[in-house]
Amino acid sequence: MRTIPINPLTQALIQPMIAASLPEGFGFVQRLWDDYLLGVQTFSEPGAALLGIFEEEACLAIGGVHPDPYLNDPQIGRIRHVYVLPDYRRHGLGRQLMTALIDHASGHFSTLTLRTLTKEAAAFYVSLGFSDVPRYDQATHWLDIGNT
């Protein structure tokens, strides 16, 4: 399985993830597509990246990082829209994706933030070293990566 940048994001690539995520109550994958189409967030600003994990041509996991839109600090990045297709969870893809996002971000940001609303995701991010101690508005977790 390969972790590679996604550029451009296409409907053919994202549609299976939208179809899987909506019944689970996760609207953020649809929001990723809508914001991309509207040009609200195309992951093209400095430090930004949209990554996917692929098996052949199929995208099994997706996630991005970009400057945190809620904070006025160019040293803080935000992890966004991390999603792994249900059949591929618990196989290390989330960790592989997050490792790649953190590695990319380390060349651009000193801290990463994110927001999650599920206890399973919260435990996952803590296992990666993120703190859930309140520190930033609009973020449930943060990680100092100390680079830039």
* Domains, the chain, ordered by start: 2-144 (3.40.630.30)
Q: What's phi and psi for 141, nearest 5 deg?
A: -140, 155
Identify the helix (H) or strand (E) that includes residue 96: helix 93-105
Alpha helix ranges (H) inside 2-92:
11-21, 28-38
- pLDDT value at position 146? 78
* pTM of the shown model: 0.95
Write out pLDDT tens, residues 37-66. 999 999 999 999 999 999 999 999 999 999
